[in-house]
Structure formats: structure tokens, C-alpha cells
Chains A and B, each alone.
Chain A
Amino acid sequence: MSDTNKQKSGGKKSKVAESFRKKGFQIFGLGAQDFIRFFFGGNASLAIIILILICVFLAREGIMFFPDHHKGLKSYRLAGQELVDYVGEEIDAHTSLYSAANVAYYAEVNRTSQEEDTILRAYRSVLANVENMTKKTWGRLEAWQEEKEDLEDELEDLLEDKEKLTEAAAAPAAAANDANADQAADTNESEDSAAKLAEVNKEIAAVEARMKELDAEIELLSEKLKKEVNVAIASDEAWDLGVGADQPPADSIDEIKEAVLFEAHPDADEEHAFIVEVKERSKEKKAKAAEELTGFKDTVKGIQAAVRPIRSYHSDLKKIAVENKREIEKFSTAPERRKALLEGAENTEDPEDKQEMLDRANAVDITEPEYDKINAPIYERVPEHEKLAADLKAETEKLYAALPEVSELETKSARESFGRAEVYNERFQNRVEENTEKVKEWRHDKNLSIFESATAFIFGKNWITNSSWHDFYGLLPLLSGSLLISIIALVVAVPFAVAAAVYVNQVAPYGEQNFVKPAIEFIEAIPSVVLGFFGILVFGETLRNVSQVEWLSWVPGFPMAERLTILNAGLLLAFMAIPTIFTLAEDALNNVPGALTENSLAMGASKLQTVFRVIVPTALSGIIAAVLLGFGRIVGETMVVLLVAGNKIKIPDFTEGLGVVAQPAHTMTGIIAQELGEVDEGSLHWRALFIVGMVLFCISLAVNFTAQKVLKKFQKI
């Protein structure tokens, strides 16, 4: 309609009556309204264009990853590295088993001397506490002592000077006696040295006086220190052994006290007899326990020794493979090197240099290595593997059976280690069986499909970069970290945020609403880097301390050894997601027609029945959308996870069950932020990071898309 009007007004202006004609500012028949419309329309389309550009850019940088990655994997196979890693996997599986058994052994050995170790630990903490409490006096005392030492040095120097001067004074006197004192100069000199001597004597006296003063001071301070130490040790603060530490036996407390009093003295340089004795006892007991557990020890040692033959086999193969890899790399970079030399020759003026460069260019070997030939030494040794692996398996099986029964173990940590060892043993057995087959069937020239290389990325268990062996780009360590952290964050944030939204929207009185809502929404204003800072310094430390408390030890993952963990990151992210989920969920609840509440109340429902049977179900899709958007926010968050998650690139060890949350992990967002600045543009690593970015983008997109769909469904009601 408006278009035709415009055309008419443009074409046959004269025929339009004055009162119907368009008024005001116009260019080419376009009025101010149209320009405003174009302006806003242009802004909107700009946003869309930028979005498209981002997608295109990501795809352009990332998509080349797959062919490059495929090439890398192919050379990995051609060089025989794949086979070597099959063997390596067996060894790794065996090592896990061995170290679990070893940990159990040492836990058992140390068990007998637990009492002594506790005493020693308590002694050390109390000593540190007392020294810390009397720090000020210690500092002053030390300063005095230093000064005294300096003065002693000075005194020594002065005494030396004095001696020299006295000698000098004596010598001219002797000479003067000989020469009958005929020279005035001599007299002058001796007078001079006499004056100096007097000066030195004065200085010595001053230093000595000062030293006396100092001695008095030091004595006073020592007295003071003694008193302070006595006060300190009587206070509870000194006996604060840290969260979760065992208390020493009651009868040893007096002796610990005495030892501390003895040690917390400026002149003490030997350990108190009691401590020496306890140390001795601990050592003896350990030795005795070790003697009793010789069988155990030998078994563990045997397990360690069993792997040796295959280990040397592995390292032999590895040498060959490294050589092969070098050959292949040389071949793959040859054309480039040649090209660079030719270009260099072209640009050089000096004919001699030019000739040399051309020669070198021609000398570059661009023939493809004969893969059959370079792999021949590997194939030669493949048959050995079956026997080695079978031996290792049989030996380990035998030794594993020879390990003590779990019921024979006396410490909890040893039993736990054995639990892990059982899992590891099973894994090891399976791994050897599987890999024996793999090694047998391995062919360097077996075709590698692009699909296989894509799965190697998506389901790859390693992300290893800048390695001299081979770079692996596997998504799983990053994906599992991201997902675990997100799930923890969601599990914590959703109940809090939704409950808060229900409360604020439905239950809270007006004044409280006006306070709680902005307060929760304010959390969103905290910069994530600040939150990460808080996570490292305050929250992580507190969490770890709390995890040491004894009666909390049933919580999976407690006590935690690390400060930067999945749990820590997850909880902080939950905190960040709460305002997002809260705000959107509250909106959803707000959108429930008030008439529904009225209807429900008029039916004789109570307020709570109305909330839970009518309002929340009606707003449910909105709440779900809120949760999904919160999830999107969590998955995309970078700073907090980079700072707090611990950044260990490894798939978390799920054998610990829920305790897995106490481990550090790395995330997809974190790895991009951390590594992108350091890699060569256009390298495989660079492209891999882009692909990780794309995966992240797809996850966010999918989550947002689902959220929109759910929201739409909600709006229909």
C-alpha cells in the first residue's frame, strides 16, 4: 500500500490535492520515518551479519583441522608410533596397578609407627605455632644477635689494628734508639701512630661498651622470650594442630611441651632427647613392620620388576619409530624447504651464494621414504611381543594373587588402594589381551579413513601438545571436565535459584521482594575474574580445610588434597548461574495469569497448594528454559574455570565414584583462553583450538535453541 502511494507521489505530484500530499522533509519520496526505520533496521541486520561472519570465520579456521589432523594421524601410523603406543598402554596400565599396590604397602608399613609420627607431627606444629606467636621478640633478639656478631667482627679488626699500631710504635722506638733519634720526621711519625693508637683504643672501648649493653639487652630479651614461650605454650592457640590433624596421645603432651620449650630457645642447636628418641622409635618400628611384611614387599617389588623386559622392548621400538618419524617429517617438509631455497636464490645478488643455494635446493631429498623398509625393523620385532605380553600377564596375575588379602590389611587407606588395584588389575588384563591382538594385526599401511580421524578427535582420550613424540588432539578430557563442572554447577544452582524465585515471587512480602531480588541480581555484576580470585584464595582454601574435618569424611572425595578442583569450580559457577536462572524463572512465574491463582484459591486451595499445583506447573516450561539458559552461561564461562578448575588435562578418574569432583580438570573454554595466544597461527594446534571453539559454539547453540523452543511452548499457554 505505502509503496504504491510513494510511486504516485513521486510520479504525478501535481494531481494530488494539496491537503492529501505528503508533508515535511523528503528525499526521493522517502520521509524522516523511513530513514529512522532504515537506521534501526540497518543496526539489526548488522548484528546478524556479524553473527554470520563469526560462524564463517570459525568454520574457515577450524574446518581445515580435519584434513591436517588426518595427515598427522596417518604419519603416526606410517612411522609405527601407533604400534609403540599399544605397547606403551600396556606398560601404563601395569604401572597404575603397581603404584596402587605400592601405596598400600607403605600405608601398612607406616601404620605401626603412627603414634610416633603423630607425636612428631604435633611437636613440629606446636613448635612452629609457638615460634610464630613469639615472632616479634624472636625478630628483635635475632637483630640484636646479628649486631653483636657484627660488633665482634669489628672488635676483632680493631684489635688487629691495635696490635699493628703497637708494633709500629714499638718498632720506630727501637729504630730511634738505634739512630739516636736524630730525625724529626720519625718523631712525628711515632707521635702520629701514638695518636692513632689512642683513637683505636677509644673505639675499642666504645665497641666493648656497646657490646656490654647488647649483652644486657640480649639477656633481658632472652628472659622475656622464655616467659613468652611459657605463656604461648600454655595457650590453646599453640596446640592448634591444623584442621583434621590427629591429636598426640595424652601422656606425650608434657614431653612435647618440654621439647618445644627446649627448642624454642635462642641457643638451642640440638634436638631434645625426647624427640630424638621418638624419631628413633619410629624408625625402628617401621623397620620391624617392613620385616614382617617382607612377603608383601617382595610381591610389590616383583610386580615392579615384571615389567622390565617389556619396558626395554618398548624403548627399543620407540627408538626405531622416532627415526621413522624423522624421515617422514623430513619428507613432508622437503618441498617447502626446497621452495624456500629457490626463492632465496632468486632474491640473492651474489652469484656464488646463488649457486650454493641452488645446489642445496637440488640436493633436497624429495623422494618419499619407503615405508615398508623403514618399518621392517619394527615388523621384525613384532612377534616378540606376544610372548613378552603373555609373560607379563602371567607373572602379574601370579603376583597379584600373592598379594595379601584385603581383610589382612589394617589401614583404611591401604584397603582403599587395594580397591583401586583390583580395578586396575582388571583393566591391565583386558588391556594386554586387547593390545596383543592389536599389535598382531597392526599394519603401517592400513587405510585410515577421515571418519576414523574425526572419531580420534571426538573420542580421543589425550590432549597432548608440543610433544616430541606425537601430538594428540582428543576432545574427551576437555569435554568431560566442562560437563562435570557444568553438571555440578547446575545441580547446585537449580534448586537454589528456582526455590528463591518461587519464594520471592509467591511467598515473600512486598518489602522483602524489593530487597532480595536486586540483591540476587547483583551477583551478576561481579566480574568473573574477581570471583575466580575469590575461588582460589578464599573458597578453595576453606573448602579444603572443611574437607579435612573428620566427621565429614563420609562425603565422597573428602578429604581433598587439592585446592583447585572440579567441585570448587562447579560451586563458583553455580553461584554465577543463580542470578540468570533466578531472574528468568521469576519472570516465568510472574507471567502466570493472576486469575489462575484466584481460581485456585476460590476452590479452597491453600497458598502453598496453589503455588505447587498450579503456578509452578504452569510456569514449568519457563523454568526449564531458565535452567537451560543458565546451563549455556555455565558452559561458556571461561575465567572462573581457568583460574579455579586446576587445569589438569586428563579425563577425571571415575573409579573414585562421586569423589571424582575432588580432582582437578581442564575445560574447553579454559584451554582456548590458555593456549590460543601461544600457538603458531595456522598450525594444527591452532586449528584444533578453533574446532574446540566450534564444539562449544554448537553446544551453546543447541542449548539456547532448546531453551527458545521450550519458552515458546510456555508462551502459548
Chain B
Amino acid sequence: MSTVMSEQEKETQIPEGTQSSSSSSENQEASNVVIEVDDVNFAYVKGKDVLRNISMEVNRGEVTAFIGPSGCGKSTLLRCFNRMNDLIPTAAITNGEIRILGTDIYDPNVDVIELRKHVGMVFQKYNPFPKSIYENVAYGLRIQGVAKKSVLDDTVEESLRLAGLWEEVKDRLDASGLGLSGGQQQRLCIARTIAVKPKIILMDEPCSALDPISTTTVEELITQLKDDFTIVIVTHNMQQATRVSDRTAFFYLGNLIEMDETTKIFNNPSKKETEDYISGRFG
């Protein structure tokens, strides 16, 4: 396992190196900020903003948790990061900018497909493709045109190991991905996402459909992945936020109320709404 990890580190360091040289704003790199949200308003239907004047920064190599009651806009913001909201015809950012690795991702010249290769996503409901385990993991590479068997084999093994699934499935890579248990399927989806080596992984309530034991496994996995990827996780579960995240952002009614170190948010929040929420007075 450790050798694989070191390999993985090498793999991730190379793109970072190339990226820093090609990046337009050097100071962003220096300050270690990966995602920068600048005064963003967002609306699904014109005139009805569901996010208002959000400004925040997400740091490299950290796990950032978004918490807040239902309908507060945390998932919406997450889906702005890889432009999944583009699938809804009328949805649009009405104000401000989101910069990932220094680039405004809503610039007309940005190729959304390239963006998504850098910003992977794990969904609430695990949804492996109705293909074999191997093909599920290899999917991301195949759509990028990689056909070399050795490269695919290596990547599949590496990703499954990183997702902690290798030992469980190595004998049945050709079996359907749908035959796995829920937790395994979610880890398969994570393996599938990390196989294309994104810089950022967005997780939209990744454990809400899992049982407690699987949840623990996935949480451990998230902590391990932190070394190689920047992770943004949306969760309903405040304990989970305390367990896995370094920083936490609290959203309420489309506004970012507070964002700080997780320990500070949960122990000593500066805003009253935050305190009310984490102490269970609403939400």
C-alpha cells in the first residue's frame, strides 16, 4: 500500500509542477488557494438568487466541509465548481467570479469538459455504470482516448488501491459494478473519480445513503485522500464535518454565514446563527 501511495504522490506532483509554471497568477499558487469564490450570486431562474454575495477561498490539500440546513445553497455552490449546473438551462451565475487554479471557470473560452477533468465529483447516490468494475474505473481514461492495456491496468489497480477497494475486488474485476455492496459501490465511484487524477474532488453528501460502517470506511478514505487531492465535501452530518474536515463553511438561506477552521466553528463560532445551528436549535 505504501509503495502505491508514494507512486500516487509522484503522479500528483507532476501535474502540479506543470500547472504552476503555466498558471496565469503566480500569487494564487503561492498563497495555496485552489478555489476562489468572489462575490458570487447564483440563480436557477432569472431574478431569484439562491446564492447571494458568496466569497470564500478553498486551500490546497485541505478538506473543506459545507454545512447548513436543507435548501441553504451548499450543494448548489458545490455544483458551480464543476459547472454541473449548466445542465439546467436557465441556471446561471448572475454576479461575481469563481476562479479555480486562477482561472475564471465561467469564462466563455473555458472548455467545460477540460474543467471537469480537473474537478472530479462524487455524488450522494452511488451510481456505478452498468459495466464491469474494471470498465467503471477505466471509463475516465477511455473517454480521454487512452486505449493502452498496460496503462489502463496500472491506473485501475492504483485507483482501486487508493480507494481501499483493491483487496476486495481484485479477483472479480470483470464482475458487474452493480453487484457490490452500497459502501463498495460508493468507493468504486470514488476510485472512478480519482482514476483521471483530478486536482479537486467535490463530494456531495457521499455518505448519506450508506450505513454507519460503510460511512466510517469512506470517511477514513477521505482523510487519506487529503494528501493527494483538495476535497470539498457537502454534508448534513455535523459530526462528519468535525471528523473529516479542516475548514468548515456554514451556509444559511443562500448566504455564507461563516467560514473558519473546523475546530473554531464548532467550539467557538463567531456568528449567532452558526451557534444556533451547531447546537441543534434549528436545521
Contacts and interface: CB of A to CB of B under 8 A. Distances in A.
Q: Among the interface residues B120, B125, B139, B196, which one has the most CB atoms of the partner chain A within 10 A?
A: B139
Given A609-B143, A613-B142, A717-B178, A602 B127 contact: no
B84 A717 contact: no
Contact of A601 (B84, B114, B129, B189): B84
A603 B87 CA distance: 14
A101 B47 CA distance: 85
Interface stretch (A128-136, A495-503, A592-600): A592-600
B188 to A, nearest CB: 11
Contact of B113 (A605, A613, A617): A605
A710 to B, nearest CB: 15
A603 B123 contact: no
A510 to B, nearest CB: 9
B117 A614 contact: no
A139 interface: no
A601 B127 CA distance: 13
Given A599-B127, A603-B196, A605-B113, A613 B143 contact: yes
B143 A601 contact: no
Q: Is the interface of A mostly helix, strand, loop or mixed?
A: helix
A617 B130 contact: yes
B113 A602 contact: no
Interface in B106-135: 113-114, 116-117, 120-121, 123, 125, 127, 129-131
A604 B144 contact: yes
Contacts of A600: 129, 139, 143
A224 to B, nearest CB: 69
Nearest to B202: A602
Nearest to B121: A602
B77 to A, nearest CB: 16
B127 to A, nearest CB: 4
Q: What class of interface size applies to chain B in its complex with A?
A: 20 to 34
B155 interface: no
A601 B87 contact: yes
Interface string A544-559: 0000000000000000
Given A598-B84, A601-B84, A604-B144, A614 B116 contact: no
Contact of B196 (A601, A604, A606): A604
Contact of B116 (A604, A613, A617): A604
B82 interface: yes
A618 interface: yes
Interface in A565-608: 593, 595-596, 598-606
B178 A603 contact: no
A599 B87 contact: no
B127 A603 contact: no
B139 A603 contact: yes
B83 to A, nearest CB: 10
Contact of B143 (A598, A604, A618): A604
B140 interface: yes
Nearest to A603: B140
B274 interface: no
A5 B84 CA distance: 56
Contact of B193 (A598, A603, A618): A603
A609 B129 CA distance: 13
6 contacts: A596-B127, A598-B127, A600-B129, A602-B116, A602-B120, A604-B144
Interface of B: 82, 84, 87, 113-114, 116-117, 120-121, 123, 125, 127, 129-131, 139-140, 142-144, 178, 189, 192-193, 196
